[in-house]
Amino acid sequence: MKKTKKCLSLLISAIMVVSLAACAGNPSSSSESKDETKAADASGLKIAIITSSGVDDGSFNENCYDGIAKFVDENSDASVNAIKEPDLSKSIQAVEDTIADYEVLVLPGFNYAACADIATANPDKSIILVDSAPTDSEGNEVVVENVYSMTFSEQEPGFLAGVAAALETKTGKVAIVNGVAYPSNVNYQYGFESGVNYAVKHLGATAECVEIASYSGTDVTGANVGGNYVGAFDDVETGKILGNALIDMGVDIIYVAAGSSGNGTFTAAKEAGDVYCIGCDVDQFDDGVNGDSNIILTSSLKIMDTNVYKQLNLIKDGNFKGVNDVLGAAQDSIGIVTEEGRQQLSDDTISALNDVYELIKKGDISPASNFNGYLPDDFPGLN
């Protein structure tokens, strides 16, 4: 498919239009107020979204919720309820406690991967699983007829963020702050580090990634992956402490992929006054307002709302199928904000990002990820 260098900007503009539109039985679970269940007696699809940190996180969960909200707005007989279970160890129990009361469950997060057995036991229900493929009780990835899972090549938007950070840093020190070392987050980390290394080798950048050993992440295999991990997606205080520690080490651009914990890192950057952040999953420019300035350099994008919305329509039409999809640049499902007024990148950086995006889309660049066998200093396209 032929594309011009303008294609990334056009893609992001289209994404922006979509993105900006719009208890479990356990006593610790809570039902959220954002667009509370619409029409309690609704006769259409009854949808629940279960999250660990809420649907108003301004990032990952909220983007998934936006896809549901758009569907509900267009289908007056449909309803949605947002359920919050902050205890990650109770995520699957929350699914089991909830599934009987809804036709559709939307489950954003790797902590919901082990839902396959529940789905199989409830074949009349539909599950949309985001950021993980379903696994059975033994941890094996499986395809389930009533589960659509979307995982993303997070290393691709992470790579774009790394290129942007390396080209824009003034101190030569950049970093990524993550929530938990789930595969998706390690993908972001490795992709970011890959992008920095690529920009140094091929684009004339001078930059290094800063890591604090005491915040290193441990992935799902037990391996130490380095990086800077808060350890949770809803720990704003630690997010700020980590952000301040990196800033004290001279970091002036921080890529933030930490859910609500990232709000603490944003606060640290705002208080520092000369530090920028790169948002994650959605355009977070509005979250960066700091008086008459803004700390958001740009935002990497993972297009979840559009895909959630698409699957809900397939359920409504009776065409829903169990598939484990992996989405990335080739499916126009990732990107980075280059729209004027929503970022603070130089024209040269935007041009470089457009070029790099095309190379990723064609497969000429394959950034490192948690499990693709590559490393940030050794991946196709670097050497």
pLDDT tens for each residue of 91-145: 999 999 999 999 999 999 999 999 999 999 999 999 999 999 999 988 899 999 9
Taking only the tens place, the pLDDT of each residue in 146-181 is 999 999 999 999 999 999 999 999 999 999 999 999
pLDDT confidence band for 223 (50 / 70 / 90)? very high
State the CB neighbour count (10 A cutoff) for residue 291: 7
The Cα–Cα gap between 131 and 51 comes to: 12
pLDDT for 137: 86
Q: Determine which of 43-57, 242-256, 258-272, 344-358 has the lowest per-residue pLDDT on average.
A: 43-57
- Phi and psi torsions of 254, nearest 5°: -125, 125
The Cα–Cα gap between 338 and 346 comes to: 10
The Cα–Cα gap between 289 and 298 comes to: 13
The Cα–Cα gap between 360 and 364 comes to: 6
The closest alpha carbon to 246, from 268, 226, 231, 261, belongs to 268
pLDDT for 12: 38
The Cα–Cα gap between 37 and 77 comes to: 11
Q: Determine which of 42-46, 232-236, 238-242, 243-247 has the lowest per-residue pLDDT on average.
A: 42-46
Mean confidence (pLDDT) of the chain: 89
* pLDDT > 60? residue 38: no
Contacts of 216 (CB under 8 A, 6+ apart): 224, 225, 226, 227, 228, 229
The reply to whether domains 7-153+304-330 and 155-301+334-362 share a CATH topology is yes
Q: Are strands 173-178 and 208-209 parallel, antiparallel or unpaired?
A: parallel
Contact at 8 Å (CB) between 290 and 270? yes
pLDDT for 311: 97
Taking only the tens place, the pLDDT of each residue in 243-296 is 999 999 999 999 999 989 999 999 999 999 899 999 999 999 999 999 999 999
Cα 109 from chain centroid (whole Å)? 9
CATH class name, domain 7-153+304-330: alpha beta
* pLDDT > 90? residue 313: yes
What is the CATH code for 155-301+334-362? 3.40.50.2300
pLDDT confidence band for 31 (50 / 70 / 90)? very low
The label of the residue with tokens 């205890």 reads: 87
The Cα–Cα gap between 184 and 280 comes to: 12
pLDDT confidence band for 28 (50 / 70 / 90)? very low
Q: What is the largest CA-CA distance in the chain?
A: 61
Q: What is the percent of the chain with per-residue pLDDT over 90, rounded to a whole number?
A: 82
pLDDT for 94: 97
C-alpha dihedral (229, 235, 238, 244), degrees to nearest 10: 90
Domain ranges of the chain: 7-153+304-330, 155-301+334-362
CA dihedral sign of residues 208, 213, 217, 222: positive
* pLDDT > 80? residue 4: no
